[in-house]
Amino acid sequence: MGASDFSKLPHIGEAVRRVEDLRFITGAGQYTDDVSLANQRYAVFVRSPHAHATIRGIDVSKAEAMPGVAKVFTGKDMEGKVNGLPCGWLITSTDGQPMKEPPHPVLALGKVRYVGDHVAMVVADTLEQARNAAEAVEVDYDALPAVVDVRDAAKGTALHDAAPDNHCYKWAIGDKGLVDGVFAKAAHITKVSLTNNRLVPNAIEPRSAIGAYNRASDEYTLYVANQNPHVERLLMTAFVLGLPEHKVRVIAPDVGGGFGSKIFLYAEDVAVTWAARQLNCAVKWTADRSESFMSDAHGRDHVTTAEMAMDANGKFLGLRVHTDANLGAYLSTFSTCVPTILYATLLAGQYTTPQIYVEVDAWFTNTAPVDAYRGAGRPEATYMLERLVSRCAWDLGIGQDEIRKRNFITSFPYQTPVALQYDTGDYVTTMNKAQQLADVAGFDARRKASEAKGLKRGMGYSSYIEACGIAPSNIAGALGARAGLFECGEIRVHPTGSVTVFTGSHSHGQGHETTFAQVVAARLGIPIENVSVVHGDTGRVPFGMGTYGSRSISVGGAAIMRALDKIETKAKKIAAHLMEAAEADIEFAGGEFKVKGTDKKVPFGQVALTAYVPHNYPLDKLEPGLNETAFYDPTNFTFPAGTYICEVDVDPATGTVKIDRFTAVDDFGTIINPMIVEGQVHGGLVQGIGQALLENCVYDKETGQLLTGSFMDYAMPRADDFPTFKLDTVCTPCTHNPLGTKGCGEAGAIGSPPAVINAVLDALASLGVKELDMPASPARVWEAIQQQKA
Ligand code: MCN
């Protein structure tokens, strides 16, 4: 079935209420910490209080003698038995130098490299006993100088022997010579230097893991708050523990948000799994909020300089970018892909810029590892590009909308100079719709009204594009990733005609149990309540790559569609047998199999029953059962795009920024469930605006201490920080997946930060403020205004 026919089916585009919400809002959700196993003990990690130190010795004797303590494990206990954590889907250097991949031991060996690094694991009968004993572990540290700012990394004391200057890799894309040539002839050059601030993901559910071991079967089970249990199992068995995969089951039950931070293989997951066998008991660990701040992989942390070369009419000719990316103390699972293939390849944005050169230097510092966080590379690309584009407009004295429209891509498919080929989009219509919804025409009057109150009003634009449906093995491989991605779906039709879907995608807030059921119900013509969706269990789902990169509907959903194709093919054979007709004459629509040109028909349920209760079956041509699996590897990414317009009032006396209006018009292709999509956009906007105005992860430059280690210091956005968002969509269906969908899960977080900062800069233009870094906190805005007065 083609994407166009699919979009017309019943249930597609219907705002079906989320079936999973009943259990969540009635407290019946089953999160990892809700699981309690027989013979279960509790783990507490002793973490480094130093950002950088040599470990001279660890004395566990007092702790091990304390009541209830089963064992205190240190790095030495694991040495030679447990390998370090793998870097995973890495990218390689492009400058001829090998990328530095220093070891990342599960528990520190000889050195700690950031505040929160794992030094020892205490396992005791109760959580309280484990906590008390953790305080009795004596560690003799010899503190070393720390470096936390990526700009200082090269001058800092080396973290790893393998990287004496703390440099991890250099990566570049584009033709530097050609771009330099374009700059030499340009009529205008506009330049920005900016920082993309470090963020802490802060999912509501902290990370949690329970390792269990069954001596009789020699099998392990890991319950874990994780977004991709099969990949977790693969990395843990193949790289770290050296176990056969079939002996390990990973279950990621209900997960209370991840935003990328639960994709990675963390030290705690490995440690509790390994310890379960050593102690022959289940070992449970759940992070407290302080641990989450310190040890969840952080996001962003880029410092970038970018220049745009233009002709006399503001037409973009060339883009030249240099980015320093902070990777933190160790390489986390996907970290090396974030500032490279997920960032640099998006720098064409929505524009026809013919020449682009991007160079990335990635560095180790004494901070928590940095990895994917909602958007992963694409928010950094959009922030840089959309700030630069608005600055180009201001430098040339033309409108922020006008400069974009002059440079928009208008014909598709479009091959960018940075590897990607956009299949569809309609950027002009999207912007026009956003301008109408934002009532751009009324802005001048609103600005005057603000001025009358002593406020400065500004409007900021951001026209983002992202690459979603993260998978295409061929493209990822061509860009240097070690492995490609795909997704798996299994459809099990039961004899009564109800269906269980097994998907390799993992829902941790995105509502897959509803939208995937919509897809199956629509396709088979059965009620939604006859479909249930199973995910997050390597023991039940054949295989899966998990959920991130807004890939689930476009890759996971497409795998399900492929499996449904196979179901339809087989069911038609059964229907042909039932109605004594030729298979080629069977049509399937609206839940019924019909013989073409006759009134003969059988419902889907009867075919399902016949599959399991065969009668006079032609066994030479047909086998019983109705159960199919498909693996889907797309040929391209999907390219959601949109225009966001933000309007702010800034109080110059206090520096306070208030968002008065926020408009987001997105193109997500065919939409399965508009209510869920709207919720996804709301969530993304809140995180993106949170980054622009409030959130900031700060380490002390001298000591490397995490200064924003709690919600007292790290400002999370709250409902009263936002106006009611105005949302709308444009639809140019994706051309290469069978649903026509494009991902929506990250758009809000990608498109919104530059719209906010551009609005603030527009408001402050009359005061001479031209530069401002995120978050635009009152103190920072006020300071920027004062600097202009000085
Ligand atoms: N959808 C739809 N029509 C479309 C596109 C999507 O109806 N055209 C639906 C999908 O069927 C799915 C939801 O919208 O129910 C999101 O789909 P998709 O865009 O494919 O994204 P994923 O399901 O792969 O989710 C990943 C994405 C990412 S990368 C982050 S980060 C993120 C996000 O989703 N983390 C989240 N949204 C989150 N929402 C919650 N509540 N919690 C998180 O941790």
**Residue of 510, 687, 742 to mutate, ligand 1, most atoms within 8 A of C-beta:** 510
Which residue range(s) make up the domain with 606?
Answer: 486-632
Pocket flag, ligand 1, residue 745 (CB < 6 Å): yes
Amino acid, single-letter form, for residue 287: A
Count the Cβ atoms, other than its own, within 10 Å of residue 400: 24
Count the Cβ atoms, other than its own, within 10 Å of residue 15: 11
Q: What's the pLDDT at 88?
A: 60
Specify the residue with its C-alpha closest to ligand 1, atom 40.
509
Q: What's the order of all strands across the beta sheet hosting 499-503?
A: 531-535, 499-503, 487-493, 627-632
**Residue of 553, 638, 731 to mutate, ligand 1, most atoms within 8 A of C-beta:** 553
Would you give the DSSP letter of residue 441? Answer: G
Task: Give φ, ψ of 11 to 5 degrees.
Answer: 80, -20
Last residue of one domain, picked from the residues 608, 632, 656: 632
Are 353 and 183 spatial neighbours (Cβ–Cβ below 8 Å)? Answer: no
User: Which region, left, alpha or beta, applies to residue 273 given φ > 0 means left and ψ of -120 to 50 means alpha?
Assistant: alpha
**641-651 and 499-503 beta bridge pairing:** unpaired
> Are residues 622 and 509 part of one domain?
yes
Pocket flag, ligand 1, residue 680 (CB < 6 Å): yes
In a domain, 160, yes or no: no
Specify the residue with its C-alpha closest to ligand 1, atom 21.
550
Pocket flag, ligand 1, residue 733 (CB < 6 Å): no
Pocket flag, ligand 1, residue 253 (CB < 6 Å): no
Pocket flag, ligand 1, residue 746 (CB < 6 Å): yes
> Are residues 376 and 317 part of one domain?
yes
Specify the residue with its C-alpha closest to ligand 1, atom 43.
257
Structure tokens at 276: 């379960």
Are 119 and 53 spatial neighbours (Cβ–Cβ below 8 Å)? Answer: no
Helix (H, G, I), strand (E, B) or coil at 366: coil
- Angle at CA of residue 644, ends 758 and 350, nearest 5°: 90
Pocket flag, ligand 1, residue 667 (CB < 6 Å): no
Structure tokens at 579: 């109605």
**Residue of 424, 744, 750 to mutate, ligand 1, most atoms within 8 A of C-beta:** 744
How many angstroms separate the alpha carbon of residue 510 from the centre of ligand 1? Answer: 5
Pocket flag, ligand 1, residue 743 (CB < 6 Å): yes
Pocket flag, ligand 1, residue 709 (CB < 6 Å): no
> Are residues 247 and 326 part of one domain?
no
How many angstroms separate the alpha carbon of residue 8 from the centre of ligand 1? Answer: 22
Helix (H, G, I), strand (E, B) or coil at 191: strand
Pocket flag, ligand 1, residue 551 (CB < 6 Å): yes
What DSSP element (H or E) covers 384? Answer: helix 378-396
Amino acid, single-letter form, for residue 68: G
In a domain, 123, yes or no: yes
Q: DSSP readout, 288-314?
A: -HHHHHHHS-BB--EEEEEEEEE-TT-
In a domain, 87, yes or no: yes
Amino acid, single-letter form, for residue 569: T
Q: What's the pLDDT at 479?
A: 78
Q: How far is it, in rounded angstroms, from Cα 199 to Cα 480?
A: 27
Please give the C-alpha separations between residue 620 and each of 572, 623, 670, in angstroms, as whole numbers. 16, 8, 41
Are 507 and 253 spatial neighbours (Cβ–Cβ below 8 Å)? Answer: no
Specify the residue with its C-alpha closest to ligand 1, atom 23.
552
Predicted interface score ipTM higher than 0.95: yes
Structure tokens at 23: 């259990």
The per-type count for the chain, helices as H runs and strands as E runs, is: 20, 28
Please give the C-alpha separations between residue 301 and each of 160, 200, 369, 697, in angstroms, as whole numbers. 20, 11, 11, 9
Nearest to 665, CA basis, from 731, 741, 754? 731
How many angstroms separate the alpha carbon of residue 550 from the centre of ligand 1? Answer: 6
Pocket flag, ligand 1, residue 750 (CB < 6 Å): no
Q: How far is it, in rounded angstroms, from Cα 327 to Cα 362?
A: 6
The tokens 């929160």 sit on which residue? 116
Q: How far is it, in rounded angstroms, from Cα 599 to Cα 788?
A: 81
Q: Report, as ranges of residue numbers, the positions in the chain whose pLDDT lies below 70.
A: 88-90, 482-484
Q: Which atom of ligand 1 is closest in space to residue 739's alpha carbon?
A: 8
Are 109 and 161 spatial neighbours (Cβ–Cβ below 8 Å)? Answer: no
> Are residues 626 and 493 part of one domain?
yes
Q: What's the pLDDT at 760?
A: 98
pTM tops 0.95, yes or no:
yes
Pocket flag, ligand 1, residue 226 (CB < 6 Å): no
Q: How far is it, in rounded angstroms, from Cα 591 to Cα 564?
A: 13
Amino acid, single-letter form, for residue 259: F
> Are residues 576 and 503 part of one domain?
yes
> Are residues 440 and 344 part of one domain?
yes
- 414 forms beta bridges with 422
Specify the residue with its C-alpha closest to ligand 1, atom 13.
510
Would you give the DSSP letter of residue 237? Answer: I
Within its chain, how far is the Cα of 701 from the centroid?
29
Number of domains forming the structure of the chain: 3
Q: What is the CATH number of the domain that holds 532?
A: 3.30.365.10
Please name the residues in contact with 681: beta carbons below 8 A apart, sequence gap of 6 or more: 664, 666, 725, 727, 744, 747, 748
In a domain, 196, yes or no: no
Pocket flag, ligand 1, residue 199 (CB < 6 Å): no
Structure tokens at 334: 């996907």
Q: What's the pLDDT at 702?
A: 96
In a domain, 387, yes or no: yes
How many angstroms separate the alpha carbon of residue 270 from the centre of ligand 1? Answer: 28
> Are residues 208 and 73 part of one domain?
yes
Q: How far is it, in rounded angstroms, from Cα 530 to Cα 520?
A: 10
Pocket flag, ligand 1, residue 778 (CB < 6 Å): no
Are 733 and 7 spatial neighbours (Cβ–Cβ below 8 Å)? Answer: yes
Q: What's the pLDDT at 482?
A: 66
Pocket flag, ligand 1, residue 257 (CB < 6 Å): yes
**Residue of 555, 680, 685, 750 to mutate, ligand 1, most atoms within 8 A of C-beta:** 680
> Are residues 616 and 506 part of one domain?
yes
Three state DSSP letters for 601-628: EEEHHHHHHHHHCCCCCCCCCCCCCCEE
Structure tokens at 517: 């059921």
> Are residues 311 and 267 part of one domain?
no
In a domain, 152, yes or no: no
Specify the residue with its C-alpha closest to ligand 1, atom 36.
259
How many angstroms separate the alpha carbon of residue 410 from the centre of ligand 1? Answer: 27
State the greatest distance between any 2 C-alpha atoms of the chain, in Å, as a whole number: 93
Q: Which atom of ligand 1 is closest in space to residue 554's alpha carbon?
A: 20
How many angstroms separate the alpha carbon of residue 335 from the centre of ligand 1? Answer: 21
> Are residues 763 and 666 part of one domain?
yes
**Residue of 550, 667, 668, 675 to mutate, ligand 1, most atoms within 8 A of C-beta:** 550
User: Which region, left, alpha or beta, applies to residue 135 given φ > 0 means left and ψ of -120 to 50 means alpha?
Assistant: alpha
Pocket flag, ligand 1, residue 510 (CB < 6 Å): yes
Angle between helices 747-764 and 378-396 (to 10 degrees): 30
Last residue of one domain, picked from the residues 632, 653, 670: 632
How many angstroms separate the alpha carbon of residue 123 from the centre of ligand 1? Answer: 37
Please give the C-alpha separations between residue 760 and each of 387, 652, 703, in angstroms, as whole numbers. 11, 11, 33
The tokens 């949690």 sit on which residue? 208
In a domain, 566, yes or no: yes
Pocket flag, ligand 1, residue 668 (CB < 6 Å): yes
Q: What is the CATH number of the domain that holds 50?
A: 3.90.1170.50
Please give the C-alpha separations between residue 438 and each of 208, 665, 720, in angstroms, as whole numbers. 43, 10, 20
Task: Give φ, ψ of 427 to 5 degrees.
Answer: -75, -30
How many angstroms separate the alpha carbon of residue 486 from the centre of ligand 1? Answer: 17
Helix (H, G, I), strand (E, B) or coil at 315: coil
- Angle at CA of residue 389, ends 650 and 732, nearest 5°: 105
> Are residues 737 and 750 part of one domain?
yes
The pLDDT tens digits for 160-196 are 999 999 999 999 999 999 999 999 999 999 999 999 9
Pocket flag, ligand 1, residue 673 (CB < 6 Å): yes
Burial class (CB in 10 A: 0-12, 13-18, 19+), 219: middle
Q: How far is it, in rounded angstroms, from Cα 748 to Cα 640?
A: 11
Count the Cβ atoms, other than its own, within 10 Å of residue 131: 14
Structure tokens at 780: 């920072």
Are 687 and 749 spatial neighbours (Cβ–Cβ below 8 Å)? Answer: yes
> Are residues 492 and 351 part of one domain?
no
Pocket flag, ligand 1, residue 374 (CB < 6 Å): yes
Nearest to 632, CA basis, from 546, 549, 735, 563? 563
Burial class (CB in 10 A: 0-12, 13-18, 19+), 67: exposed
Last residue of one domain, picked from the residues 632, 666, 701: 632
In a domain, 190, yes or no: no
